[in-house]
Chain A
């Protein structure tokens, strides 16, 4: 292997555009590359990559590895993995950054093991230790009850970064960078697992992960019906409805509603929790919200430690009156 150098962001595109997560990773990667005095590259996999390549340069990349292959159009994980494995071996980056998205959750550990190196999982913060020129990563452990600072002994040092933690840089379309085509040899038989059917069960309206306002319900709601009230409240506010895992596990709402460590990471301007205790695993998915409001009957509930505004009370009394007042206030 050649001497390792530079930072590689594992990028992706959605509907022909550079994904939001890739933009965030380029901001983190830019800082790390500057601290190292080395290059920032991004890999993009697919069949048509012109638009996202130019966007990647505008968002901070010095080099784009355009990994094109007809088989990569579908983003099958084993094919992506094979392509990234050969890219990492050939380009020999010092640091690799992957988004801990739904795909990244599978891709990052498998890539690390395939390369025989370590992975800092689900990082909230990555930086370069100038002295050793190694990566330092802060990552929540024990459901967010603690934070671990880890370093990695082998190169490439791979970090999976939690989405929506870093802000993308402002794009600069005058930035210069090069697009290098990286041919890979792939064979259909490498894709051993096959998707045979896709079922969507998401609620109508605004997507939970994009909503500016989210109203979430927990176990204290006691059943599926009260979620109707939350849906109405969310509609009034132009927002979406989420839930704690306890509500999902009880079967009151589909799994796609779950906010938290093993659910969705959301960063709305306003996050209203109703009858949610505020377990660290729940907060892991919403602590980046600008303002958290908690409605809970237990004054000792942990959610009040994270909330900006709180009401101690029974949701059955608080929520209808709150919704009514919101209706009046937002009508004029």
Chain B
């Protein structure tokens, strides 16, 4: 039996965009997507795709990518397919807004996972780079009652178990959990592979499955938001930087040491 793997992936505003392009719409309390910078697949979710493909490299497996949103840039969201994933399922509806409330998102994704018949292993990025909530994956695991390992940097499946190298503050630990399981991964997993030309061609031909809210049986009571956004603002940094200069770089280095000494910092 092939290992049936799902990856949850989110389309986000490029987190590496220049800070000067970062704008907030005060009335909508949301971040304005910069016009000239295309969105990306959340970086940690690309790590999750890579983790799934590494399993697929060594044994029979299928990788299905699921994403929720109001609208998608198809060429962006097809990237996991061009890396080697098998299926793309887009949960797209005007009501699937990108809010700060993880509860709603987790419920929608769970409904889709159930509709697809469940998975042996669900791999997710540790957090999305927009709201930095780090909640949806663990929420999905709780709703589905899955065994869970957070912050993986290596994920292996052997028989009915998943074995994960889990990042700790001073190294890592190897954790085993029974399938079905949900694992979150972090950038320590390493660079995700680049799409191959063949992968890109295959991805172009593939059509994603698209489900709207009405395609998913959702429990209305579970859809009440748990977290409400009251305000959103850009913090002001007030620090005045004193530039230490010198005749050349080395002299500036010496002056810096003297200045820090003078200020009794060293």
Contacts and interface: CB of A to CB of B under 8 A. Distances in A.
A141 to B, nearest CB: 5
Contacts of A294: 241
Interface centre among B24, B224, B254, B259 (most CB of A within 10 A): B254
Contacts of A326: 257, 266
Contacts of B149: 193
Given A142-B132, A193-B148, A322-B254, A199 B19 contact: no
Interface in B137-156: 138-139, 141-143, 147-151, 153
Contacts of A120: 227
B222 to A, nearest CB: 8
A194 B177 contact: yes
A106 B234 contact: no
A262 to B, nearest CB: 7
B249 A142 contact: no
Contacts of B200: none
Interface centre among A110, A310, A322 (most CB of B within 10 A): A322
B169 A209 contact: yes
A293 B253 CA distance: 11
A98 interface: no
B232 interface: yes
B226 A153 contact: yes
Contacts of B228: 150-153
A27 B239 CA distance: 27
Contacts of A207: 170
A261 interface: yes
23 contacts: A109-B138, A114-B142, A122-B132, A142-B15, A142-B131, A143-B15, A145-B19, A146-B233, A148-B100, A149-B233, A197-B174, A200-B170, A237-B266, A255-B153, A255-B167, A270-B265, A291-B263, A302-B19, A306-B237, A308-B240, A309-B259, A321-B253, A330-B266
A217 to B, nearest CB: 15
Nearest to A238: B266
A35 interface: no
Contacts of B256: 293, 295, 309, 311, 318, 322, 325
A298 to B, nearest CB: 13
A186 B187 CA distance: 34
Contacts of A142: 13, 15, 22, 31, 129-132
Contacts of B135: 109, 112-113, 119, 121
Given A102-B169, A149-B232, A281 B134 contact: no
A194 B259 CA distance: 52
B171 interface: yes
A174 interface: no
Interface string A40-81: 000000000000000000000000000000000000001000
A169 interface: no
A193 B175 contact: yes
B103 A118 contact: yes
Contacts of B257: 322, 325-326, 329
B133 interface: yes
B75 interface: no
B159 interface: no
Q: Report, nearest first, the 5 A-B pairs whose CB atoms are least far apart.
A: A118-B226, A317-B249, A325-B257, A321-B253, A322-B253
B244 A309 contact: yes
B230 to A, nearest CB: 4
Given A121-B135, A325-B258, A147 B235 contact: yes
Interface in B103-144: 103, 106, 126-127, 129-135, 138-139, 141-143
A102 B166 CA distance: 11
B1 interface: no
Contacts of A152: 226-228
Given A262-B126, A305-B239, A308-B239, A109 B139 contact: yes
Contacts of B143: 113
A60 B237 CA distance: 33
